[in-house]
Each structure stands twice: as structure tokens, then as C-alpha cells.
Amino acid sequence: MGIMSVPSTTPRPAAANSVWPRLEPLLPQVTKPIQYVGGELGAVVKDWDTAAVRWALMYPDAYEVGLPNQGVQILYEVLNELPDVLAERTYAVWPDLEKLMRAHGVPQFTVDAHRPVRDFDVFGVSFSTELGYTNLLTAIDLAGIPLLAADRTDADPVIVAGGHAAFNPEPIADFVDAAVLGDGEEAVLEITTIVREWKAEGSPGGRDELLLRLARTESVYVPRFYDVDYLPDGRIQRIVPNRPDVPFRVHKRTTMDLDAWPYPKKPLVPLAETVHERYAVEIFRGCTRGCRFCQAGMITRPVRERSITTVGQMVQQGLEFSGFHEVGLLSLSSADHSEIGDMCSGLAQQYEGTNVSLSLPSTRVDAFNIDLAQELSRNGRRTGLTFAPEGGSERIRKVINKMVSKEDLIRTVVTAYTNGWRQVKLYFMCGLPTETDADVLEIADMAHEVIRAGRAATGSKDIRCTVSIGGFVPKPHTPFQWASMERPEVIDHRLKLLKQAINADRSLGRAIGFRYHDGEPSLIEGLLSRGDRRVGAVIRRVWENGGRFDGWSEHFSYQRWVDAAAEVLPAFGVDLDWYTIRERDELEVLPWDHLDSGLDKDWLWQDWQDALVEYEQDDCRWTPCFDCGVCPSMDTEIQIGPTGRKLLPLTPVNGLKVPTAAPQ
Amino acid sequence: MRRAGVPIAFSQGFTPHPKISYASAAPTGVASEAEYLEIGLREPVDPEQLRAALDAALSPGLDVLDAVVAQGGSLADRIEASHWRIELPEVEPAALERAVAAFTAAEEVLVERMTKQGRRTFDARAAVMSIDLIPPVATPSEAPGVSCAILELVVRQVTPSVRPDDVLSGLRVAADLEPPVSPRVTRLAQGTLTAQGAIVDPLDADRDGASIGGR
Ligand code: B12
Ligand code: SF4
């Protein structure tokens, strides 16, 4: 036994513009105050005065969700590696602290050095979901920045939105100054260069000139430079630049050669509990499986693999730096990596006997096999396994182009059971285009058969599966962008029928867990994802009426959104239904048509027609290119292995890691 | 522990836990200069090397000052009292003096707090061995020009434990003292009590007289 003495805090010297002295007294009065103190391993605090360009980066959700976010961590590190650039992080504060901050005049702050967000040059916000929009408004307002981009002055930072939701930033066009589509690594460097030069020149032309310079890159969208005209029936007539020197279309960014961007190198290690405490490394970006509902797969094309050797190196350094004992091999469909087998067995071998476990967050049924199952469980711990057939019937899986057969699924799940897993999660969607009650009820059959086959194969009654159902939300830049949504009542009714069907067999039903989201939040997500600039007024009204943390069921209020929509939309001659359950036709101008994800709109329309006749599309990694449009328009190409290299076992380093030079 | 390469022992069982136990951890929102913990190891290590490795692995602000090899007995048994400092910005020293006098004069001061077992009422007076006003010049205040009263307390470890916020509740009960701003609390020391009421470093008992740590 050893005993030691650790003082829990020694005061950190406060930065000159730090709000810490005013914030600290408020913290004892709020829940989980540790989330606001910063000081994590991997956090960087730089000198304010010598920085030429200063970024505040936000994930607009609670610290526990936002901190593990890869996108923000990557950009934070890329920016802070530049000697004359400073990047700090800020997250959404919970309503208890928001109230106190308002009462005591404490502005939105960064957790790194507790500096006011308004003092920064650029305020970058990462949206992986649209449900963070109300939290954006809270942050802008708490920061003391005018809510409307049009009201801002040279004293305010430029607010830039990024992440997947930024592929249609129209609903927040009034509140952000700019949006970046696609990969951020090079985009933030380019923005930094422009801001640095503009400041060095003495900020000529003020804010307008800076935004113009950003817009001229053709990959930063500045909404104020575009006008939207509407037809009498409410549809969009056109979206066109309102000045001669900005591009008609803004293009997405694609970072090629992921081996050249091995981030995060120094992952943030939270002091407070978060949703994920693991070292995550993206093993590839992009996915061409072509699931028609999947925005992520459509907008991140083409597939770019990170090589097995770079992944091995990143894992080694990342674990050493962070002390994490779980490694997540992240991507949109991790088992599809051309060298996934060697990667998993190599890593399992390297970390044999060390408590380090591996997980594959997104695994396709058809790519999972016994070898992989064994490698994942080699170190004794079995992290959860989730498979996503998405659709209950063979027919609906053809509509969505998720080509897994029931036999494949059962075989895969049984593999997992016979390899020691006792619990498997199956993920489905409800409300898909052309879906009927019968399609959804087949989920029950599938779950029953999984349990039956699992019991037969293992001879044990001690196996379970959880059926988890999410509501379908049509997303921009997908073949389903024209689709109508189902009403929440219909969704809820189908889920009720499904639950009854699962429990119709008592013995099997007992081994099946059932989790679902109601139809209501999905409908609102649908409003936000396919919304146009007029939806901004709804977001604002909801926020004014107290809307916060809409991604959290305990904070989300459907009624508040319905009421706000009913209040503001009729003035534009449209309503909530118009945005959600209305099917669009081929010629309608969509709010994001001027934003170029590389996908050819005609190809998307054809794929939508193919969906309706249940015609499947192949994967361009293994079959010839089918001209989705991305590679030629973005000047990109598929980058996949195999490289044929293997991971060599590491020489284990044992013993205490005592620093050579004692830190002062 | 992982980053420092500490050969930590794990509990047996289905979900093994690293063997770490904290003795009388300071409450949330309180600063501390003296926290103690006990760790179980798979193999012997040099305490000074352990200290240096852990110190390097922890975030700035979390400093490991000392480590010794436990000679037996539980660490928790050696925590008999805590020494606290409470800074009360915007409180007039004179008002505080009156409150302290009323508190000290009372035989029992009943206070309430939510505990894991629910709301409890208990005496905050008996456990307080000393409560002294410190002249404000002794500590720099971050908000100059604002008066700031400072208290130092020595409180015995009892059940339910009496924490600095309980003593503050006691001052409210005894003399209506209501600090306008949240007080700042720091634990200065904790350990075994001598007959004279002084606090002794709990690691001393394992130290054979000579300090191994880098203090
Ligand atoms: C890990 C993960 C989670 C984790 C962790 C989330 C977190 N804190 O980051 C958990 C389990 C919590 C989670 C939850 C959810 N997730 Co999730 N998740 C993922 C996963 C597997 C990886 C995300 C990731 O790290 N990507 C890698 C990073 C580097 O990419 P990135 O964040 O997009 O960042 C890059 C760019 O976008 C850009 N960028 C990002 N921000 C900014 C900002 C600026 C200013 C700029 C210039 C650029 C920029 O630069 C970055 C580097 O190139 C993805 C699948 C995938 N592979 O992407 C799904 C995924 C993102 N999740 C998804 C969904 C739907 C959800 C949930 C809504 C699920 C639900 N119904 O509850 C929730 C939402 C949680 C929330 N409130 O944010 C979907 C998004 C769907 C879509 N857009 O169409 C995805 C794509 C999965 C899928 N195929 O459906 N998720
Ligand atoms: S352009 Fe061709 S190769 Fe490139 S992602 Fe599209 S289908 Fe695949």
C-alpha cells in the first residue's frame, strides 16, 4: 500500500481578461460545477496578447457530450499547433448557470482560460445535429453578441458554423456570419490566414470586407451575400448572390490523405464524467454503401482510408498520452476498412494483457465475422455490439438501399453470441418512405428469430437483444431530401403495434428490450434539417420562450415548437406540415441547392426514383463508379488499401514513468 | 495511474476496480491543500518515484506532494480533524466577529443539510475545536477595495461530518450572518490530533522520522 498527499487545487494564475473571479463564486450553486473549470489534460492555454488570430470553438451541447467530440478536438489541436494562433473551447451551460450568469453579468466563457467569447476573432460552432440551434442562440446572447448577424459590428467575432448540419445552414442563416461545408482541417487554416492578413493590414473595410474575403474562397458560405426570393405559393423561386464578387455556389471541403492529418494526437481527458472516455481514431472518412437516408454517407464521399500503420501509431501515442484504456475505431462503417482484420488482430496482440479494449462503434452486419469477434473480445472485455439493419422487411431495406438479408443478420448475431456476447443491440428506423405497418412488424419476427437462433446455438437462455428504434428524418443532400415525413401519431401507433408483436411471445419477448424515440422530436428535427431562412424565426421564438437543450428529451418541448411555428410561419404563407409531411417535386428549388456537396442533383433524383421501385445501388469501392458526381466535381478520388503492411507487437514498457527533468 | 505506469492492483470479481480509496475528500467547490488517498499496488515501488510519476501525469493544479509506504492501519482512522480557511468577501469583519462570538457561546447549534440519507439536522457546534478571525491583510484578495473577512477553523471528524458550509449555516442560525457572495473555502490541513489540538500529518506515522517526500 502507498499513501499520498494531493492538494486538490492550487489556484491557476488567471488570464488578464479572465471571468474566473466572477464565475468561481457562482459554481458552488450549480450542478456538476467541474464541467466549467477546464484544466483537462490536453487543454492548451496560450498568451492572449501575442496571438495574431484567436478562435473560440463550441460544441453546442453540455460539456459531457461536447468534450469527446472529435471534430472540435481536431480543430482545437490543428489551430493551437500554429505558434501565433490561439484556440479555446466553450460548451453550452446548463440553465442553472445561465440564470446566475445573467444575474451577475458573467458572459459566455471558454473553459480553457475563462475568457469572454466576445473577445475572440472567430467563434466556430460545430453542429452534428440541428437540435443544437437553440443552444447557439443562448451562447451568442450570453456572450453579449447581437443575435442577428446583421446587427454585429467590428467588435464582435465572426460566427462560423461547421459540422454536418452546416450542409444546410439556412435555418440559422440570420444568426451566423458564415458556414463551412465539409472537412475542417484545411478550412480553419485557410480562414485563419485570411483573418491574420486582414488584421495585419489594419482591418480594411471592417467586417464586410473580411466576410467578402472569406466568401471569395468559394468554400465559405456567407448567407448575407445571398438573397432568397419566394414564389406566391411559398416555395423558393431562387437563391442568388446580391453582389457581383461572390460565387453562385459554395463548395464543400474534402481533406485528402488522412495519414497526413493524424489528429487528435493529444486527446482531451475530461475531469468530469462524459459520454465517452476512450481514445477514438477515425480509420476512414466517407462511405459509399449508399444508404439512402444517410446524410453522413452522402456528404463525406469519397472513401478515404487511414493506413493501418498510421492508425497503429496514433493508437500507441494517443493511449500513452491520455491513459485511456478503450480504443474506438471510428468511421461510418468500421468493418469496411480494407485492412480491418489485420488492424484489429494487430492491436489486440499489441495490447494483450493490458486491460485495453477495442470497440467498433459502427459495424455493418455483412462485414462482421468470427475473426473480428474474437479479436474484439481478446482482452476479456466485450464492449457493446450494435448492428443496424435499419429496416424490418426485405422490401424496405431495398428502398433504403441497406442490403443486408435476414439470414446474414441472424448468422452475424449468432456469431456474436457464440463468441461470448450476451447482449446485442439492433437498430431500426421507423417512418421511412413507403413504409407500412407490416414493414415495421417484421422487426418483431427478426428479433424473435435472433433470440431463438441464439438460444439454439449457445444452449443458454441467458442471451438478450435490444431493439432500438429511431425516427426517420429526411436530410438535405440525400436521395430522400424530397420525401414526405410521416405524422408523429402514425409513428407512435406503429411503435405500439410493434411492442405488442414483440411481447406476443412471452418467452422470447422477455429476452428482448425495446427502446424508441417518439415521433414528435423527429418531426421537429425534420423541420430544422430541411428548413429555409424563414425557419430561423421559429427557432428564435422557441428560444425566447425558453427552449434549450432540444437534444435532451427532458428539456425538449414539442408543444413549444408547434406553438412557435403556428405563431410565425403563417405570415410567410407556410406551416409546420409544409416543411415536414409535404413531398417535394423534382423541379422545386431546395434551400441548399446553392451549396455544393459534390452530389449531382440529377443523380440524387434518379436514386430517389430507384428507391421507390426498390432498386438497389452498388458500392463504388468494389464496382465501377456510378457517377454520383462527387469525385469529378470535387477533384477527389477513392483512397483505400490494402497496404499489405502489418502491425508489429510493441515492446511493452513497464514500470513507473518518472519525468527525467522534474517540472518546476 | 495508467499514464504514470503505476502497477496498480485490481479488486477481484466480475468488474475489477483499481484499488484506490480517498480519505475524507473535500466537498465539491472547495479548494484544498491537503487531500490524502491510499492505493493498492501489485508490486513494491520507490515512493518518491511514484510521487514524481503521478505528479507528472496529473493536470496542472493537481500536485502530488508526498508518498510513503503504509505500515498498516487504515488511513481513514488517522483523519481526526481538518483545518479550514473560509474567505467571506463583502462581509464586515466586525459582523463576523459578533457572529463567531454568538456561535462560540452557544452550547449547541442545530443546522440542516441534505445528505445521501435525506435531510438531516445535527449539531454544528461541538465538533468545532477552534474558530478564529484572521486579519484580512494576511491574504491577498482578488477584488481589491471590497472588505473581506477571513475565518480559520479546526473541526473534528465526526458522523455526520461537520463541513465548513455547516459552520456557515451555524453562523446564520446563531447570528443571522448571511454572506452576500459565495464564500471561498480552502482546506489547509487534515490529520491526527494531538492533545494540544494541533493537526499532525497523517503520513508521519509511516515515515520513521525521516521524510521521504519532496516537501
Ligand atoms: C461518436 C459519435 C457519436 C457519439 C459522440 C458524439 C460527440 N460528442 O461527438 C454519441 C454516441 C454521443 C453520438 C450521439 C449522437 N449521434 Co452520433 N456519431 C458519432 C460518429 C460515430 C462519429 C462522429 C465523429 O467523431 N466524426 C468524426 C469528426 C472528426 O467529424 P466531424 O465532427 O463531422 O468534424 C469534421 C467536420 O464536420 C468539420 N467541422 C466540425 N465542426 C466544425 C466547426 C467549424 C467551425 C468548422 C470550420 C468545421 C467543422 O471539421 C471536422 C474535421 O474534418 C458519427 C459517425 C461518423 N463517423 O461521423 C455519428 C453521427 C455523427 N451521429 C449521428 C447521430 C444521428 C447522432 C444522434 C443525434 C443520435 C440520437 N438520435 O441520439 C446523437 C446526437 C448527440 C449530440 N447531441 O450531439 C449521425 C448524424 C446524422 C446526420 N448528420 O445525418 C452520424 C453521422 C451517424 C449516422 N450515420 O447516422 N454520436
Ligand atoms: S464519383 Fe464515383 S467513385 Fe466517386 S464517390 Fe461517387 S460513385 Fe464513388
Q: How confident is the model at residue A373 (pLDDT cuts 50, 70, 90)?
A: confident
Q: Which residues contact A479 (CB under 8 A, 6 or more apart)?
A: A292, A298, A604, A605, A607, A608, A610, A611
B50/A4 touch (CB, cutoff 8 Å), yes or no:
yes
| φ, ψ dihedrals at A426, nearest 5° | -115, 125
Nearest of B29, B30, B149 to residue B87 by alpha carbon: B149
Residues A162, A233, single domain; the answer is yes
CA distance readout (Å), A471 to A440, A512, A626, B176:
12, 20, 29, 56
Q: Could you give the percent of chain A with pLDDT greater than 70?
A: 94
Residue ID of nearest Cα to ligand 1 atom 61 = A128
Give the C-alpha separation, A527 to A519, whole Å.
13
CA distance readout (Å), A406 to A4, A370, A412, A431, A510:
57, 18, 10, 20, 21
Q: Which residues contact B94 (CB under 8 A, 6 or more apart)?
A: none
Max alpha carbon distance in chain A (Å)?
79
Give the C-alpha separation, A341 to A411, whole Å.
19
Lowest-confidence segment of A351-355, A473-477, B52-56 by average pLDDT = A351-355
What's A116's domain CATH number? Answer: 3.40.50.280
Judge whether residue B113 has pLDDT over 50.
Answer: yes
Q: How confident is the model at residue A165 (pLDDT cuts 50, 70, 90)?
A: very high
Which numeric CATH code is attached to B77-193?
Answer: 3.30.70
Q: Could you give the percent of chain B with pLDDT greater than 90?
A: 46
Give the C-alpha separation, A116 to A109, whole Å.
5
CB-based burial, B20-31: b 16+ in 10 Å, e otherwise: eeebbebeebbb
Q: Which domain holds residue A377?
A: 278-383+596-656
Distance A621 CA to ligand 2 centre (A): 8
Judge whether residue A13 has pLDDT over 70.
Answer: no
Residues A372, A223, single domain; the answer is no
Give the C-alpha separation, A7 to B183, whole Å.
19
The number of beta carbons lying within 10 Å of the beta carbon of residue B215 is 9
Residues A135, A82, single domain; the answer is yes
Enumerate the domain spans of chain B.
77-193
Q: For residue A649, tell me if it sits in a domain.
A: yes
Q: How confident is the model at residue A664 (pLDDT cuts 50, 70, 90)?
A: very low
A contacts of B39 (beta carbons < 8 Å): 1-4
Q: How far is A539 from chain B (nearest CA, A)?
A: 35
| pLDDT tens-digit map of A455-467 | 999 998 889 999 9
Question: What's the mean per-residue pLDDT of chain A?
Answer: 92
Per-residue confidence (pLDDT) for residue A113, from 0 to 100 = 97
DSSP bridge partners of A139: none
Locate the ligand 1 atom nearest the alpha carbon of residue A160 and give its number.
45
Mutate-to-test residue for ligand 1 from A61, A91, A128, A469, highest number of ligand atoms within 8 A of CB: A128
Residues A83, A231, single domain; the answer is yes
* pLDDT average, residue stretch A309-319: 95
Tell whether A272 lies on the interface with B, counting CB pairs under 8 A: no
Residues A181, A329, single domain; the answer is no
Residues A43, A153, single domain; the answer is yes
Residue ID of nearest Cα to ligand 2 atom 4 = A631
Nearest of B67, B115, B92, B18 to residue B211 by alpha carbon: B67
Q: How far is A381 from chain B (nearest CA, A)?
A: 9
Residues A285, A221, single domain; the answer is no
| pLDDT tens-digit map of A627-662 | 999 999 999 999 999 998 888 777 666 678 888 754
B64/A5 touch (CB, cutoff 8 Å), yes or no:
yes
Per-residue confidence (pLDDT) for residue B211, from 0 to 100 = 41
A25/B63 touch (CB, cutoff 8 Å), yes or no:
no
B61/A657 touch (CB, cutoff 8 Å), yes or no:
no
B66/A4 touch (CB, cutoff 8 Å), yes or no:
yes
Residues A229, A311, single domain; the answer is no
**More confident of the two residues A8 and B200:** B200
Lowest-confidence segment of A22-31, A295-304, A609-618, B198-207 by average pLDDT = B198-207
Locate the ligand 1 atom nearest the alpha carbon of residue A161 and give its number.
45
Contact status, residue A363 vs residue A386, Cβ threshold 8 Å:
yes
Q: How far is A556 from chain B (nearest CA, A)?
A: 29
Asked whether A43 lines ligand 2 (CB < 6 A), one says no
Q: For residue A201, tell me if it sits in a domain.
A: yes
Residue ID of nearest Cα to ligand 1 atom 65 = A129
Q: Could you give the percent of chain A with pLDDT greater than 90?
A: 81
| pLDDT tens-digit map of A35-62 | 999 999 999 999 999 999 999 999 999 9
B39/A1 touch (CB, cutoff 8 Å), yes or no:
yes
Distance A505 CA to ligand 1 centre (A): 37
Closest Cα in chain B to A32: B28
Q: How confident is the model at residue B212 (pLDDT cuts 50, 70, 90)?
A: very low
Judge whether residue B139 has pLDDT over 60.
Answer: no
Nearest of A633, A632, A628 to residue A289 by alpha carbon: A628
Per-residue confidence (pLDDT) for residue A338, from 0 to 100 = 94
Q: How confident is the model at residue A370 (pLDDT cuts 50, 70, 90)?
A: low
Residue among A24, A101, A320, A658 with most chain B CBs within 10 A, to mutate: A658
Q: For residue A449, tell me if it sits in a domain.
A: no
Per-residue confidence (pLDDT) for residue A379, from 0 to 100 = 63
What's A330's domain CATH number? Answer: 3.30.750.210
Give the C-alpha separation, A129 to A165, whole Å.
6
Q: For residue A585, tell me if it sits in a domain.
A: no
- For chain A, what is the domain count? 2
Per-residue confidence (pLDDT) for residue B58, from 0 to 100 = 86
Q: Which residues contact B117 (CB under 8 A, 6 or more apart)?
A: none
Per-residue confidence (pLDDT) for residue B145, from 0 to 100 = 56
Q: Which residues contact A258 (CB under 8 A, 6 or more apart)?
A: A282, A284, A285, A304, A305, A306, A310, A639
Judge whether residue A663 has pLDDT over 50.
Answer: no
Give the C-alpha separation, B169 to B153, whole Å.
14
Residue ID of nearest Cα to ligand 2 atom 6 = A628
Which member of B49, B55, B62 has the closest CB to residue A8? B62
Planar angle of CA A220, A225, A230, nearest 5 degrees: 115
Q: What is the pTM of this model?
A: 0.90
Planar angle of CA B92, B95, B101, nearest 5 degrees: 140
* pLDDT average, residue stretch B130-154: 73
ipTM: 0.74
At position A9, the amino acid (one-letter code) is T
Residues A230, A126, single domain; the answer is yes
Give the C-alpha separation, A134 to A551, whole Å.
10
Judge whether residue B157 has pLDDT over 50.
Answer: yes
| pLDDT tens-digit map of A406-419 | 898 898 889 889 88
Residues A27, A94, single domain; the answer is yes
Lowest-confidence segment of A33-37, A183-187, B198-202 by average pLDDT = B198-202
* Residue bearing cell 467541474: A34
Per-residue confidence (pLDDT) for residue A355, from 0 to 100 = 76
Residues A134, A190, single domain; the answer is yes
Residues A376, A227, single domain; the answer is no
Asked whether A620 lines ligand 2 (CB < 6 A), one says yes
* Residue bearing cell 494540544: B196
* Residue bearing cell 482512522: B77
DSSP bridge partners of A117: none
At position A501, the amino acid (one-letter code) is A
Distance A258 CA to ligand 1 centre (A): 18
Distance A128 CA to ligand 1 centre (A): 5
Judge whether residue A362 has pLDDT over 80.
Answer: no
Contact status, residue A295 vs residue A164, Cβ threshold 8 Å:
yes
The three cell numbers of residue B203 are 503520513
* pLDDT average, residue stretch A567-594: 98
Nearest of B136, B125, B154 to residue B92 by alpha carbon: B136
Mutate-to-test residue for ligand 2 from A603, A626, A633, A639, highest number of ligand atoms within 8 A of CB: A626
* pLDDT average, residue stretch A204-219: 97
Per-residue confidence (pLDDT) for residue B144, from 0 to 100 = 53
Judge whether residue A223 has pLDDT over 50.
Answer: yes
Tell whether A33 lies on the interface with B, counting CB pairs under 8 A: yes
A7/B35 touch (CB, cutoff 8 Å), yes or no:
yes
| pLDDT tens-digit map of A415-432 | 889 888 888 999 999 999
* pLDDT average, residue stretch B62-78: 88
Which member of B49, B58, B184 has the closest CB to residue A656? B49
At position A96, the amino acid (one-letter code) is D
Radius of gyration of chain A (CA): 25
Nearest of A630, A625, A635 to residue A598 by alpha carbon: A630
Q: For residue A422, tell me if it sits in a domain.
A: no
Q: How confident is the model at residue A448 (pLDDT cuts 50, 70, 90)?
A: very high
At position A561, the amino acid (one-letter code) is W
Per-residue confidence (pLDDT) for residue A7, from 0 to 100 = 46
Q: How confident is the model at residue B142 (pLDDT cuts 50, 70, 90)?
A: low
Judge whether residue A571 has pLDDT over 70.
Answer: yes
Per-residue confidence (pLDDT) for residue A363, from 0 to 100 = 67
* Residue bearing cell 431562412: A533
Give the C-alpha separation, A485 to A38, whole Å.
42
Residue ID of nearest Cα to ligand 1 atom 29 = A71
Which member of B5, B41, B89 has the closest CB to residue A657? B5
Distance A512 CA to ligand 2 centre (A): 39
